Structure 1
Amino acid sequence: MKKIGMIMVIAITVMACSKENENTMYVKTSVKGLKKGTFYLQKQLDSMIISVDSVDVSGKEDFLLTDEVESPEMYYLTLGNSSKRIAFFGEKDTVMIETQLDLFALKAKVTGSENQKLLDDFSAMQQQFNNQKLDLVKEEFEARKAGSQDSIDIVAKKLKNWQRKKYLYTTNFAVKNANYEVAPYIALTELVNANIKLLDTINNSLTPEVKASKYGKQLDAFISEIKVSEKE
């Protein structure tokens, strides 16, 4: 009987530990060219960036950092007090980061986070939009240099159309991925100046789980603030 009782205690303990750590994020990192240094796992709390874990590395390129993730959110892997920082979408289970010391953020490859994968896809399209805007800004500069008001007006219309397309693409992307926390995140970072109807469209499309997440709550609160200010 004592043996059975002991087995039951061990089983309960294992189950309790498993439940306690079910939201743990393991950030397994490999930095080529690394000799030594201190790395911090950070995230934003209100308006501050705080460290949730750190590790001193010496003589190896691989290391592990962890945190308990209530809901997926943006994290930062920072090297010491330097400006070298990798931003990534963290979530429970294992996230892998591979990079090299001299091109820390530029060469970073993040896997294991579905939200990060979607954010990478979104960022790739955003880069195309940014390139288009650079071309339009150059076109506007040339028009102003030539003193052609007609050309300036044409570029202004193009820029307005560019902005509209960018907002619509962002909204459609968020709605399409409404079951991921990246949806309210990009709404909060890319659509703060957009029409409230676009934000409402995204907010209304979110699944209950995403609505209850950190960014889901922030998006809902942001929309409420706008609506209150519009009534004043």
Structure 2
Amino acid sequence: MKKIVALVTLAILIFSCSNKKQGNMLVQGQIKGLKKGTLYLQKMNDTVLVSIDSVKLLGDDTFLLSDNVKDPVMYYLTFDGNTTEKRIMFFGEEGTITINDKIEQFGFNPEVTGSKNQDIIKEFKKIDARFKNQRLDFIKQDFEARKVNDEDKIKQLEDDYKRMMRKRFLFTAQFAKNNADTEAAPYLALTELFDANVRLLDTINNSLTPKVKASDYGKRLQKFINEVKANETK
């Protein structure tokens, strides 16, 4: 009797999965070592992270999730609803996106293919890593200078740090302009240049193609620029 119930349950599960309506974005892949648990496909709705799709893995570490994408935006792949420590963040867009990772290092260095915008973000992060390393070096030197109360060194480090940040802002703005035909451009402006001079944001915004301007992140960038300018006139 137990075997019959198990077979019926399995048949219902297979039938449900096979009849599951798929969107224009398919997210497939493998999480090595994940034999039991639930994967959630999530994205931000205003300021709330909502689940779009999910799949329970029972003895199989491969998965298939989907959503209907209107505009390319950031998505999150989370394991058992853990959205803080373990998650994979990727640019979702129409088509098939493949994500491969390991459960032991889930979200640390996943392999994501099939998303043009994700490729651009990956390229940016690779180059931007040198600025992050410089920032860590500045923090270390500043700590040591303050420990011995070296005022001249502290002042020099502050000036050097400001110059480094300006270079990073200019690099990010130029990188976004070079990719102005992708939604990654306004996304980078919003996430990496939110505290930069509004003129930099304007240069990126003015370089965007009409399609990108009309996208979700394109509209958000225009709204953000308008808000910054409005606050400056107060």
Q: TM-score by structure 2 length?
A: 0.88
Query: 5+ unaligned residues in a row in structure 1: which ranges?
Result: 1-20
Offset of residue 84 of structure 1: 1.9
* C-alpha separation in 1, matches of 2:139 and 2:39: 39
* C-alpha separation in 2, matches of 1:87 and 1:211: 23
Offset of residue 126 of structure 1: 2.1
Amino acid at match of 1:163: M
Identity rate, percent = 49
* C-alpha separation in 1, matches of 2:189 and 2:225: 11
Offset of residue 231 of structure 1: 1.6
Offset of residue 81 of structure 1: 2.7
Partner of 1:183: 185
**Kept in 2: contact 1:118–1:182 (CA 8 A):** yes
1:25-84 Cα offsets, whole Å, 9 max, x none, are: 000121111211111100001000000111111111111000000010000001113342
Partner of 1:63: 63
**Kept in 2: contact 1:98–1:109 (CA 8 A):** yes
The DSSP-based 3-state class of the residue aligned with 1:34 is coil
Amino acid at match of 1:191: L
**Kept in 2: contact 1:100–1:107 (CA 8 A):** no
Amino acid at match of 2:167: K
Offset of residue 105 of structure 1: 0.7
Out of 149, 163, 166, the residue aligned to residue 165 of structure 2 is: 163
Partner of 1:125: 127
**Structure 1 ranges of 4+ moved more than 3 A:** none
* C-alpha separation in 1, matches of 2:145 and 2:61: 52
Q: How many matched pairs?
A: 212
* C-alpha separation in 2, matches of 1:144 and 1:36: 50
Partner of 1:149: 151
- What is the RMSD computed on CA atoms of the aligned residues? 1.4
* C-alpha separation in 2, matches of 1:179 and 1:144: 46
**Kept in 1: contact 2:86–2:106 (CA 8 A):** yes
* C-alpha separation in 1, matches of 2:126 and 2:204: 21
- Once the two structures are superposed, the pairs formed by residues 31-42 of structure 1 within 5 Å of their partners are 31-42=31-42
